[in-house]
Amino acid sequence: MAALYVLIPVAVVLVALAIWVFFWAVDSGQFDDLDSPAHSILFDDDETKPEQQPAQKDAKDADRRSMIELLPLLVSAFVLGLLGGGHCLGMCGGLMGALTMAIPPAQRGSACACSSPTTWAAFSATPARES
């Protein structure tokens, strides 16, 4: 209850700040022209002239260099995926295990017949509490 005395004023200040930022953006002209930036991307001059096109060998070298430049990004994405899987097992698995243990043992066995035997062996190894 005491946390509400802090959280409510903080929430009101954040809402007031968001309203002030919105009105500042409107007054500074941020929303005056919404179509030009969307159309300007279509008319960029990215075309190369035929005499400037690289040879076949240069194109392969450029592809290899671009893959080497992407390698750190791909490795970091792979590592983040592994860490995300560890987070899922550690957090979500622990929460589901705790919630499952809150179900009475008589109902727990019929709750999900499709679970693996290893999971149920782990849960049955823990002693059930009697209320």
Residue 34 reports pLDDT greater than 90 = no
Rounded-to-integer distance, Cα 44 and Cα 110, Å: 63
2-11, 29-38, 80-89: which has the minimum mean pLDDT? 29-38
Give tens-digit pLDDT for 39-79.
777 776 655 555 555 556 666 777 777 778 888 888 898 88
For residue 16, name the pLDDT band (cuts at 50, 70, 90): very high
Residue 115 reports pLDDT greater than 80 = no
20-46 mean pLDDT: 80
Query: Which tokens belong to 75?
Result: 């490795």
1-15, 100-114, 115-129: which has the minimum mean pLDDT? 115-129
Q: Which strand (E) or helix (H) includes residue 39? A: helix 36-40
Higher pLDDT among residues 28 and 63, named by residue: 28
**Phi-psi label, residue 29: left if phi above 0, alpha if psi -120 to 50, beta otherwise:** left
Higher pLDDT among residues 130 and 14, named by residue: 14
Answer for the pair 79, 87: CB distance below 8 angstroms, yes or no: no
Mapping DSSP to helix (H, G, I), strand (E, B) and coil, where does residue 93 land? helix
Residue 125 reports pLDDT greater than 70 = no
Give the pLDDT of residue 123.
Answer: 58
